[in-house]
Amino acid sequence: MVGIATMAGKGGGGHVADARPDDEATRSATRMPAAKPRAERPPRTVGDVDPKQPMYYVDDGPKVIALTIDDGPSPVYTPQVLQLLAKYNITASFSMIGENVTYYPSVARDVAAAGHTIVNHTWNHANLTSMKTAKVHAEISQATDAIHAATGKTPRLFRAPYGAWSRAVLDYCASEKLTPLDWSVDPRDWSRPGVKEIVTTIMRTTKTGSIILEHDGGGNRAETVAALKIVIPRLLGEGYRFTVP
């Protein structure tokens, strides 16, 4: 049974919504404390039967993995990521913050038009485990409304900010037919540890079924883009194939 989760690895972009350009850097400085590594989480996959457990892995055959991009859309970095994915003919999942979608609806539409999956990532990247049930519902439903208004698509996946799950969050996901999506590879790119560190972590920890966490929002994501330019061809060269959850 999943109880109230701790803040997991600072992944999922531990900040409030991607700001308008004039104060984006200030907002990106807010982070949550680290918790135990994602590898210690239970290995739920897309094929598991319990819809009230987060998904940490995909199950689509040998050397199949998933790439997830969080905290956008960003008018600066999302187009760069889209260009890179198109170059290698890869489909990814973009976990979008509803408030950011209202700032940059055309960018969200570009993601959808390119055939990528859009994931609900709450309205403003709140820690849902500290909220009352009604507020949890509002955070998720408001983001769904914003995504649908911008793209015409209704998300079928939900990713909790910080990987922080509670029974209220999981119950609401089940009631709304939203699959709870987590991750199993976290290079902590949000902290800008350097391109080499991001690449090394991904290449060292990725295995069959891995869900890789990266970010296109929440601050300067130049390191993330540079790292993806390296790891995507390397992973393809090692025989990995990309899917979406």
Per-position DSSP letters for 117-152, written without gaps between them: EEEE--SS---GGGS-HHHHHHHHHHHHHHHHHHHS
Q: What is the mean pLDDT of the chain?
A: 86
Per the annotation, the verdict on 116 as an active-site residue is no
How many domains does the chain contain in total? 1
Q: Is 7 part of any domain?
A: no
The predicted structure's pLDDT at residue 25: 37
What is the 3-class SS of 214-241, one letter each residue?
EECCCCCCHHHHHHHHHHHHHHHHCCCE
The predicted structure's pLDDT at residue 27: 36
Q: Is 129 part of any domain?
A: yes
Range of the structural domain that residue 221 is part of: 21-243
Q: Residue 44 — pLDDT band, cuts 50, 70, 90?
A: low
The answer to whether the CB of 197 falls within 8 A of the CB of 22 is no
The predicted structure's pLDDT at residue 43: 52
122-147 per-position pLDDT tens digit: 999 999 999 999 999 999 999 999 99
Please report how many Cα atoms fall inside a 13 Å half-sphere around the Cα of residue 117, on the Cβ side: 22
pLDDT at 37 over 80: no
Per the annotation, the verdict on 70 as an active-site residue is yes
**β-bridge pairing 64-72 and 241-243:** parallel
- CA dist 7 and 38 (Å) reads 11
Q: Is 116 part of any domain?
A: yes
Q: Is 228 part of any domain?
A: yes
Q: Is 70 part of any domain?
A: yes
178-188 per-position pLDDT tens digit: 999 999 999 99
98-112 per-position pLDDT tens digit: 999 999 999 999 999
Q: Residue 86 — pLDDT band, cuts 50, 70, 90?
A: very high
The predicted structure's pLDDT at residue 204: 98
Over range 17-25, report the average pLDDT.
39
pLDDT at 19 over 80: no
The predicted structure's pLDDT at residue 63: 98
CATH (domain of 127): 3.20.20.370
Catalytic one of 116, 189, 215, 216: 215
Catalytic one of 70, 71, 182, 186: 70
Q: Is 213 part of any domain?
A: yes
- State the pTM of this model: 0.84
Q: Is 201 part of any domain?
A: yes
Q: Is 81 part of any domain?
A: yes
The predicted structure's pLDDT at residue 52: 75
